[in-house]
Amino acid sequence: MFDTGTMYITKIHSVIYVTPSDTPKKKMRYGPNIRWYELVYKISGENTTHYNGAHMYQTAGFIEFLPKCPKADYTVDIHEDGDCIDIFFETDCAMPTEAFCLDCSKNARLAGLFDRIYRLWSQKQDGYYPKCMAVFYEILSELTKPQGNYLPKSKYEKIEAGIRYLHEHCFDKELDYYAPAVLCGISYSYFKRLFREKYETVPVKYVTKLRLERGRELLSTGNYSVSEIANICGFENVYYFSKKFKDAYGVPPSGYKPT
C-alpha cells in the first residue's frame, strides 16, 4: 500500500472529527479539487464512496485512502449516518494515484491511534504537532504490517500465535521453523498449509524476505559491513546472505546503492 521505508510526511494539514449532520443527506459531493492526501477512519455508520471510478463500501473499522486530484469525481452515498476521523496530509514521495479501502476492524490499536491524533490536534497543547506526526507514522506503520490474504477467523486463530512467533524471532539465527506449529498445537504441514493460504508462501521464504528487507535497510545506513549485516539479520553466513540478496534485488550487497 504505502512504502513507509522511504515515506516522509512533509505536513499534516488538519485532523478533523466528522459527525452526522443535523439535516442528514443521502448523498454528499466533494471537490472537484482535492488538494491533500486524505486518510479516513470510519468509527460508525455505513457509506459507499465513489472516487474517480473506485467504489468503496465502508463501515466501522474501515480505513479509506483518497489521493489528491485537481479534477476528482468524488461522491459519497450515505446508508447510515456515522462518525469518522479524517487526516489531511502532504508527502514528498510517490503515493498511490487510486483510492482504496481497507478492512481494519480487527486492529484495535488503530482505533486508539486515530483517537489520539485527533485529541492531540484539537487540544493543541505545547508540542502537539511533533506528537501528531509521531502518531501518524505509527498509523502508517500499522497499515503496512504484512496483512496477507483473508483467512476465516476459525483458520486464522489456529496459526495466529505461530505468526506472532515468526515475527518476534525472525532475526534469530537458530530460528526453529517447527516451533510455531508446536506453539499452535497443530502439525507443521497443517500450519504451513494455512500459512500459505494467508501469505502465498511458506514460512521459510517469508522469513527470508523479512531478513533481506532488514538487510537492505542496514546497508542503506552505511554503518555496517556486509558480514555484520548478515549476522544481525540471522543468516547462517555472509555467502548465503549475498546469494539471497542478489537473487532478490539483482545486485550483491556490496554493489547495492540506496535510492
Would you give the end-to-end CA distance of the chain in angstroms? 19
pLDDT at 223: 87
pLDDT at 118: 96
- Weakly modelled stretches of the chain, pLDDT under 50: 4
Residues 180 and 218 in one domain: no
Q: What is the pLDDT of residues 176-194, one digit of tens each?
A: 999 999 999 999 999 999 9
Q: Specify which residues 27 forms β-bridges with.
A: 77
Number of structural domains the chain divides into: 3
Residues 240 and 186 in one domain: no
pLDDT at 106: 76
In sequence order, the 6+-apart residues with CB closer than 8 A to the CB of 191 are 158, 159, 162, 180, 181, 184, 203
Give dist(CA 218, CA 221) in Å, integer. 5
Taking alpha carbons only, the member of 45, 39, 48, 38 closest to residue 21 is 45
Which residue range(s) make up the domain with 92?
A: 9-143
* Joined grid coordinates for residue 58: 465502508
Question: What's the CATH number where 88 sits?
Answer: 2.60.120.280
Residues 183 and 209 in one domain: no
